[in-house]
A = this chain, B = another copy of it.
């Protein structure tokens, strides 16, 4: 077994920050697997082109390459069935598909405008220019303008977490008594934000804050030890 993982970084190659790569990092740790990291920057498209992708994460497992965090989670679950399950059975896997979309739309999509102008500060000049140009084209206005008013906008984001918040009234993790991939789907974006931005997404008395603390502590504090801002 020889696993390698292309992970998004900026000017500091030891500071991986993609929400999707963090889902994969947590999934690998859950399976008790370690992967050699291959730092990858936004503009290094040619490095992953042989794997038929222009985005990371890309996982290499010997001769096999797997693209996209959801596909990687499924690959790990199927290829390493004797290790702890990421989904807790086929029912969990099926429902997690929708949770993954909710995580992409509401969590990644909800956090992005709140930290978007902080991201290029973490990038090499060439990647910062690429990021600004492509994201300003997508949103139709300057990054700083998208992020302006985030102190107010964060309230809407916090409200959008209600399904998670209410779930935590009766269970410790989305996966139940212990975390599983359902948790990593939502946690990855929070770790992304912590790595690239000092902005406080959560109030300290929020049950979601306590849940996030538990995931910072998971796997011997793997996510907490990775460089980032205080969350």
**Residues of A that sit less than 8 Å from B by CB:** 85, 87-99, 101-102, 105-106, 162-164, 166-167, 170-171, 173-176, 180, 182
Instruction: List residues of chain B with CB within 8 A of the CB of A87.
Output: 91
Specify the chain B residue showing the minimal Cβ separation from A89: B89
Question: Are A88 and B94 touching (Cβ within 8 A)?
Answer: yes
Specify the chain B residue showing the minimal Cβ separation from A166: B101
- The secondary-structure label for the interface of chain A is helix
Question: Are A95 and B90 touching (Cβ within 8 A)?
Answer: no
Question: Are A167 and B98 touching (Cβ within 8 A)?
Answer: yes
Select A171's contact among B89, B94, B170, B173, beta carbons within 8 Å.
B94
A212 to B209, CA, bound (A): 36
Specify the chain B residue showing the minimal Cβ separation from A174: B98
Nearest CB of B to A73, in Å: 13
Select A163's contact among B88, B98, B173, beta carbons within 8 Å.
B98
A173 to B98, CA, bound (A): 10
Q: How many copies does the complex hold?
A: 2
Select A95's contact among B96, B106, B170, beta carbons within 8 Å.
B96
Question: Are A163 and B90 touching (Cβ within 8 A)?
Answer: no
Given contacts A105-B163, A162-B105, A163-B105, contact A95 B89 (CB under 8 A): no
Question: Are A91 and B163 touching (Cβ within 8 A)?
Answer: no
Question: Are A175 and B94 touching (Cβ within 8 A)?
Answer: yes
A97 to B156, CA, bound (A): 22
A170 to B94, CA, bound (A): 10
Nearest CB of B to A194, in Å: 22
Nearest CB of B to A160, in Å: 9
Give me 14 other A-B pairs in contact (C-beta within 8 A), A93-B176, A95-B182 excluded: A87-B91, A88-B94, A89-B91, A89-B92, A90-B92, A91-B93, A91-B182, A94-B173, A94-B176, A97-B171, A98-B164, A99-B163, A101-B167, A102-B163
Considering residues A90, A95, A99, A174, which has the most beta carbons from chain B within 10 angstroms of its beta carbon? A95
Nearest CB of B to A88, in Å: 2
Instruction: List residues of chain B with CB within 8 A of the CB of A164.
Output: 98, 101
Question: Are B94 and A163 touching (Cβ within 8 A)?
Answer: no
Nearest CB of B to A165, in Å: 8
Instruction: List residues of chain B with CB within 8 A of the CB of A99.
Output: 95, 98-99, 163
